[in-house]
Amino acid sequence: MLQADVAIVGAGPAGLALAVALARRDCRVVLLERQSEQHVLSPDDDGREIALTHKSVRILENLGAWQRLRDDEIGTLRSAQVVDGYAPASLNFGTRGGGPLGFIVSNATLRRVLYEVAREDRKIQFYSGCTVTGIRAEAGRRVLGYGEDGSIAAALVVAADSRFSEVRRMVGIGADMRDFGRVAIVGQVRTERAHGGVARECFRYGSTLALLPLAECHASSAVVTVPASCTEAVMQLSDAAFAAWVQAESASQLGAVETCGQRYSYPLVAMYAHGFYAERFALVGDAAVGMHPVTAHGFNLGLAGADTLARQLQGVVRLYQPARLGRALSRYQFQHRLESRLIYSGTNRVVGLFTNDRLPAKLLRKAVLRVSDHFAPIRRAIVHQLTR
């Protein structure tokens, strides 16, 4: 049986970040991942681009991951623009000093650099191609079963294995799920005019379009949200037809559009776990809170949660003191709920309103944007959330 201080299930960005943070606090960490090590080392591009807050950048810098990114892998988010329907007016966000609101980096790139950092730390053992088959508590530890007959004993087990976490279910922690009945279709496009570092969110009727600025000034990530029943039709559009659709939905703000690369689709399901910990067990990343991507907070919350948990645990000694470990996990839950609950519920309300095409909702949508545009504290609060 393998022995570890902490066993983490899931080598996504949140799991990798937590592994590195704990190893630097002198914890022996075992990281279990369902996919192959080669897939984690050189992950395939999955089309997802992550909008990073300044806080997330600081966390990545402290882990030694941000420094590994090349300049051409970092897009700068200078401002954001929100449009409702086909009205000419828009709600605009930007910092007072003209500095960036945030940064855009692909999910695959973030996962790659975090794994590069993790594999250089001798306190982290990586086991790939592993599926967890069971988990039990016994004599001051948790025992994980994996594969045909493998097992790991650890003082703490952390699940970071997606919003549909099997390990969370095995421990008996439930979750509130919200299926929006919609699908996000993502793919890169090139535009005639430079994006200028502006993220554009167009809430049309029947669909939404977001254009996220990438490092190359004419390249953007197009995120199209449509009812699930329309997924196949949009995915089967020719490149020219998809580009024309993106150009029309963006009101040709950036001129002619052409596609570049593959398109990917993701069902939109939000999730909030009923609890973030149990006896010698914790949840981080999407296993704790799975966000709708419209406000781009999912990755940032996952990274913040991993950072909070590592800080509360402090080091290896606390793992073997049951009372202190219990208090640390309780404080982690309190802090992560404080950071995530309002954002989660607020995002769901925004999505519910701005994907409702009935007349009362349309009128309310316009009223919300008008009030937000004329009430500076709202804009400042949103900008503060990104740049703090």
Task: Write the pLDDT tens digit of every residue in 113-164.
Answer: 999 999 999 999 999 999 999 999 998 899 999 988 899 999 999 999 999 9
Mapped onto helix, strand or coil, the DSSP state of residue 124 is: strand
Alpha helices in 176-297 (DSSP H): 231-235, 239-249
CA-to-CA dists, residue 348 to 78, 200, 272, 300, angstroms: 25, 19, 11, 17
The amino acid present at 139, given as its one-letter code, is A
| pLDDT attached to residue 371 | 53
Q: Which of 340, 339, 325 is CA-nearest to residue 281?
A: 325
Quick one: which of 280, 297, 46, 273 has its CA closest to 162?
273
The pTM (predicted TM-score) of the whole model is 0.89
H or E stretch at 387: helix 376-387
Note whether 156 and 5 are within 8 A (CB): yes
User: For residues 281 and 39, what is the distance between their CA atoms, to the nearest angstrom?
Assistant: 27
Residue the block writes with tokens 């623009």: 81
- 203/275 Cα distance (integer angstroms): 33
Residue 367 has a pLDDT of 57
Q: pLDDT at position 383, please? A: 43
Structure tokens at 119: 């594999």
Q: Which residue's entry shows tokens 């799920």?
A: 177
**Helix or strand or coil: residue 280?**
coil
Instruction: Kindly report the CATH number that applies to the domain delimited by 2-45+107-177+271-350.
Output: 3.50.50.60
Q: Report phi then psi at 150, rounded to 5.
A: -80, 155
Residues 6+ apart with CB under 8 A from 363: none
Pick from 387, 384, 360, 353: nearest CA to 82: 353
Answer yes or no: are the C-beta atoms of 310 and 18 closer than 8 Å: yes
The whole-angstrom separation of Cα 66 and Cα 16 is 14
What type of residue sits at position 308? T
Looking at the DSSP bridge assignments, the partners of residue 91 are 82
d(CA 299, CA 303): 6
Rounded to whole angstroms, how far apart are CA atoms 237 and 242? 6
Query: 166: which 2 tokens?
Result: 């099997």
* Regions of the chain where pLDDT drops below 50: 374-387
- Residue 36 has a pLDDT of 86
The length of the chain is 388
How high is the pLDDT of residue 185? Answer: 94
Give the CA count within 13 Å in the CB-facing half-sphere of 6. 36
Q: Where are the beta strands (DSSP E) in the chain?
A: 2-9, 29-32, 49-52, 75-77, 79-84, 91-94, 102-106, 124-127, 132-138, 141-146, 150-159, 175-191, 198-203, 208-213, 219-227, 257-259, 264-273, 277-278, 281-283, 289-290
